[in-house]
Amino acid sequence: EESSRGSADRTKPSVVGLVDYEMSSFDVCCQAIADVQAECRMSVFRIAPPFTMHGHGHSTTMAYLPRHLYKILRDLLRNAATATLKKYVASNRKEPMQQIQVIISDSTTNSDVSIKISDEAGGFPRSKARTIFSFAKDLNTEQTLASVLADQGLCRTLGAMEPSDAHPLDRGAIAGHGLPISRVYARYFDGDLRLRSTPPVGTDVYLYISRVNENLLPT
Beta pairing, strands 192-198 & 202-210: antiparallel
Q: Dihedral (C-alpha) 51, 55, 56, 58: value to the nearest 10 degrees? A: 30
The answer to whether residue 48 scores a pLDDT higher than 60 is yes
Beta pairing, strands 19-23 & 15-16: antiparallel
The answer to whether residue 7 scores a pLDDT higher than 70 is no
pLDDT confidence bin for 153, thresholds 50/70/90: very low
Round the average pLDDT of the chain to a whole number and report it.
76
Q: Residue 10's closest CA among 20, 1, 2? A: 20
Do residues 78 and 33 lie in contact, with contact meaning Cβ atoms separated by under 8 Å?
no
pLDDT digits (tens, 9 = 90+) for 154-194: 444 444 344 444 444 443 343 334 788 889 889 988 899 99
The answer to whether residue 80 scores a pLDDT higher than 90 is yes
Do residues 23 and 69 lie in contact, with contact meaning Cβ atoms separated by under 8 Å?
yes
- DSSP 3-state of 34: helix
| Residue type at position 5 | R
What per-residue confidence (pLDDT) applies to 140?
52
